[in-house]
């Protein structure tokens, strides 16, 4: 008879395989989203707009952050979701903001969290694409990138 701990580990191993398969099944869409956000009008422009102090334009990247998070949520094995509290807090702090001219007086305080949320979401998207291409099955030995993806879903 299996112990409760053994059952938990078996379920996690099963969910890791499901997660990887979900990534593989959605790889074309994930790659398309990654290509889009790495392009000029998203990644490059958002960082430039932050440093240029370009009024509301840095705020536009929030929509792409939300799209990435939505795509990541859809990869979760049934019964799981994105549960990493740090990630969710970063995303919450960096989305849902509306531009106000008063923000210009405290630019960093109002806008840095927008880029931070985008960068973290972009990182996880990069990792799911990278390891979705690399692995045919969930590995037992974990590199940092794949381990971070597992952590995002509460599997590590």
pLDDT for the residue 57:
83
Instruction: Give the model confidence (pLDDT) of 42-96 as tens digits.
Output: 999 999 999 988 767 899 999 999 999 999 999 999 988 888 999 999 999 999 9
CA distances to 7, 24, 149 from 19, rounded to whole Å, are 18, 9, 10
**More confident position, 21 or 141:** 21
Number of H helices, E strands in the chain: 7, 0
- Give the pLDDT of residue 131: 97
Which domain range does residue 22 map to?
A: 4-152
d(CA 93, CA 121): 13
Q: What is the pLDDT of residue 120?
A: 98
Q: What pLDDT is attached to residue 55?
A: 65
Q: Please state the rounded mean pLDDT for residues 1-14.
A: 85
Total domains in the chain come to 1
């Amino acid at each position: 008879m299996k112990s409760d701990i053994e059952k938990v580990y078996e379920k996690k191993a099963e969910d890791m395989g499901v997660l990887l398969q979900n990534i593989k099944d959605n790889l074309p869409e994930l790659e398309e989203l990654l290509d889009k956000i790495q392009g000029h009008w998203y990644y490059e422009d958002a960082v430039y707009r932050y440093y240029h102090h370009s009024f509301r334009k840095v705020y536009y990247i929030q929509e792409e952050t939300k799209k990435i998070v939505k795509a990541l949520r859809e990869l979760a094995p049934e019964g799981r979701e994105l549960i990493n509290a740090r990630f969710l807090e970063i995303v919450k702090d960096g989305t849902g903001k509306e531009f106000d001219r008063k923000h210009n007086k405290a630019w960093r305080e109002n806008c840095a969290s927008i880029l931070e949320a985008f960068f973290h979401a972009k990182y996880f998207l990069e990792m799911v694409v990278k390891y979705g291409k690399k692995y045919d099955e969930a590995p037992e030995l974990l590199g940092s990138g794949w381990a971070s993806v597992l952590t995002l879903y509460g599997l590590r």
